[in-house]
Each structure stands twice: as structure tokens, then as C-alpha cells.
Amino acid sequence: MKENLTKGIALVAGVTAAVDGSVLTVKGPKGEVKRNFLHPQVKLSLKDGKIILAASKATKREKTVMGSFAAHILNMVKGVQHPHIYKLKICSGHFPMNVSVSGRDVTVKNFLGEAVPRKIKVTEGAVVKVNGDEIEVSSADKEVAGQAAAQIETLCKVTNRDRRIFQDGCYITHKSGKDI
């Protein structure tokens, strides 16, 4: 049955938001996150320190879209207060692997004894730090942090070898909000 739906998400103290068409910008003490919430039926507005999602004559599909938008907005608000952190473990059983970060470049040297180092440019907005045998990826945007962690994990992908024996690589051990 079609009905008019509204959902309000309250902003926390120290966090501000601005709506420009379908683009929502959330600013806080730890950064700024922008996202485009484009849907023909769901409208975004700002009223009394709340972000309002509204849909007229909403069906089941618009209800699910509104729930997804609300979850994304809550992640944005949490991210500008405390950055989302992903942790990766460096495992090197056969060859001593060296991981280094310079700017946005992550370099893995001597992976499985390879002569040519593997390099990758991390997604802009993510901060990567190497602490011993642990890599920490943090960002105000949860999707940017997750994408950067996935890029580092696939950088050390093992091919043409038995994965039960050659377990070298970088593996995600902690995602933002949950341990693996």
C-alpha cells in the first residue's frame, strides 16, 4: 500500500550538515564527507538540526531505499566524529616482506621473493600507516576506508601457488565496527 513516509536523523553536537539538491555534505571535527543521494521518489532536506528523508506515495522499494539512505547518513555522521578504521595483518612465512607507505603509494617489496616491488595508489581520503606487522587504514568515509583496505589486500594476492602452503600476504583482520 502506498503511503507518505518521513524519516528524521538527528545530528550530534559538533556536526553540521548541508543539502544541495541531492548532495549531502556532513562536516565534523575529524573531517568532511560528501555523498549524492539521488532517487526520483526520495527527497532530502534539513530542518531543526535533523536530516529529513521524505517520500510521497512510497512503495516497498522506496521504504528500502530510505532505510539504506538512513544507514549511509548515520555512517557519515559517525565518520566525521571518529574515523572508520580497518586493520590488516602482514603475514610473511616464506620470504621477509617489506611494506612501506609514501604519500598515497603503498609498496610491497620481496613478496614471495619477487624482484619487482608491487605498488598501488590508495584511494584519496584514506590515511595508511604501517606499525610493525600491522597496516591501519582510516578515513572519515567508511566506503573509502574499506576500498583502500581491499586494494591493499588484493595487492598481495597469491596466484599460481597452493594457498594452503603459501599463506603470505596482507589480510583484513578488523573492519570498522566489527572484528573478523
Model confidence pLDDT, tens digit, residues 123-154: 999 999 999 999 999 999 999 999 999 999 99
Say if residue 88 is in the same domain as residue 165: yes
Whichever domain contains 16, its CATH number is 3.90.930.12
Q: For residue 1, what pLDDT is reported?
A: 66
Q: DSSP letters along 121-157, please?
A: EPPTT-EEEEETTEEEEEESSHHHHHHHHHHHHHHT-
Identity of the amino acid at 84 = H
Find, among 61, 35, 33, the residue nearest to 126 by Cα: 33
Final residue of a structural domain among 81, 104, 125: 81
CA distance 159 to 44: 46
Q: For residue 95, what pLDDT is reported?
A: 84
Say if residue 121 is in the same domain as residue 155: yes
Cell numbers representing residue 77 in the block = 555522521
Residue 80: which H helix or E strand, with range? Answer: helix 60-81
Please tell me the total count of domains within the chain. 2
CA distance 177 to 159: 31
Angle at 61 between CA 178 and CA 51, to 5 degrees: 65
Say if residue 12 is in the same domain as residue 40: yes
- The number of C-alpha atoms within 13 Å of 134 and in the hemisphere containing its C-beta is 7
Q: For residue 162, what pLDDT is reported?
A: 83
Q: For residue 158, what pLDDT is reported?
A: 82
Say if residue 112 is in the same domain as residue 96: yes
Say if residue 28 is in the same domain as residue 104: no
CA 14 to chain centre: 22
Q: Which residues of the chain have pLDDT under 70?
A: 1, 180
Q: For residue 114, what pLDDT is reported?
A: 86
Beta strand extents in the chain (DSSP E only)? 3-10, 16-20, 23-28, 31-36, 42-47, 50-58, 84-91, 98-102, 105-109, 118-121, 127-131, 134-139, 169-175, 178-179
CA distance 77 to 82: 9
pTM: 0.88
Give the range of the structural domain holding residue 99, as residue numbers without chain letter. 84-179
Identity of the amino acid at 135 = I
